[in-house]
Amino acid sequence: MVNARVVKHELTRRQSLLTALLSALQSVPTRLLATILALDAARIRGLLLRAAAGGSVYALLVCAFGGFYEKPWQLIGVTARMSYVTCRTLGDYIARGCRPIFPEWTLGFEITRALVREAMSKYGRCMMKPRNASFIRRQSEVLGTALGYLACKQCGTRTEPFEYNGLEHVWIKSASQPPVPPRTRVVVLFFHGGGYAVLSPRMYINVGAELQSRTARLLERPDVQVDVLLANYRKIPEYPYPIPPEDAYRMYEYLIDHEKLSPKQIIIAGDSAGGGLAMATLIRARDQGTSDERLPLGGILSCPFVDLEIGGDERKAPYCLIGDAAGQAIYDLYHPRDGPPSTWGDASPVHCDLKGLPPVYIQAAELDYIYPHAVRLADKARADGVKDWELDVHANVPHVFTNFPRSMLPIAAQGLEAMAAFAASRFREALARAESA
């Protein structure tokens, strides 16, 4: 009987608590409504404006740093760190008498470089996770479209997106030149960088516009249509080697089979990881043919990622964009480094046989995290008896310096002009041979 009374008392107590809780919950909307009605219009507008401002700031921070964290609350730490880096960089600039670290730099570039380096050093592995990598790709599409619009207006070019192989690719063409027959077209097939993981062709519209307009100007052939194709490819971590180079070579075949271009009307180019894909495409084009009929006119490599054997060291490249966390994640995700390097195939082009490849222009940056890649590739070409390759080293600039707007890094124009000069020279020679045949 005692136990029964205890149980009954406990049930009664819990029922009373539940009734009180339900009553309180029912009164919340009424109290909230009463509070809102008690406010005047000015205070309501103020609250709404503060809420909108707070939401906008949060949205902007997510857009800026959404690829650097996994949990929502980690955004606070990322924002604090990036704010500190910005203030520290600005303070260092002022302490130097408002002079940049190198004469070729600007304050805007110095801050941008510091932020990118911090992100790659601290959050590089997080950036390579599938959700984050996908976010950064979409982010680059939006930013690249906006910057590309301005670049196309300035360069007199237009974009022409299309889909092939389940991916979006972007043509960069003259805005004023009418279409011409295939035999009077020349094309630079360009593979974008981003560690085989992030970025998109749209992020390179500004580079493509500059390359198209400069090549057309240096070629001095108004009757010839110069186009740049910004080609896409599937990316790590979802699609490791050999998927990216297979997609790259498929775009080379697209130009030949669908656009009806001769290989001698095509130059294959790329920067960073895209430079590695350009090299892989050159090697595959050579290996697919019985002679040089499948070989393009040449290659343009800007700060190429071509050597899986040597890892980077951010301490040896303190002024570069790339940090160890991102660099090592790329090495680990793209291709396993098991066995001797000779078995890695064109995942590591510097370990491939380079004999029989067309002329290649290698553009290197002295401050680059992967500067040794370019040097070792040029050395390997010489060791394989290749005579018509050029290594062009630019001082006081970091990885893929040509990607930055000229207003931020004026010396980027020199790098783009050198790339365009090589392309125009190769196209001019090929056109002369075709016309004299």
Residues designated as active site: 272
Please name which of 384, 357, 343 lies closest in space to residue 280, comparing C-alpha atoms.
357
Distances (CA, A) of 413 to 10, 48, 428: 81, 47, 22
E strand intervals along 232-319: 266-271, 298-302
Contacts of residue 244, defined as CB under 8 A and 6 or more positions apart, other chains included, come to: 196, 233, 234, 235, 236, 273, 277, 334
Q: How far apart are CA 80 and CA 58, in angstroms?
A: 13
| CB under 8 A, 24+ apart: contacts of 329-333 | 329/124, 329/125, 329/127, 329/128, 329/195, 330/128, 330/195, 330/196, 330/197, 330/236, 330/273, 330/305, 333/128, 333/196, 333/197, 333/236, 333/237, 333/240
Distances (CA, A) of 112 to 58, 105, 122, 419: 21, 11, 16, 24
Q: Which amino acid is at 49?
A: L
Q: Which residues of 304-322 are buried (b: 16+ CB within 10 A; e: fewer)?
A: bbbbbeeebebeebebbbb
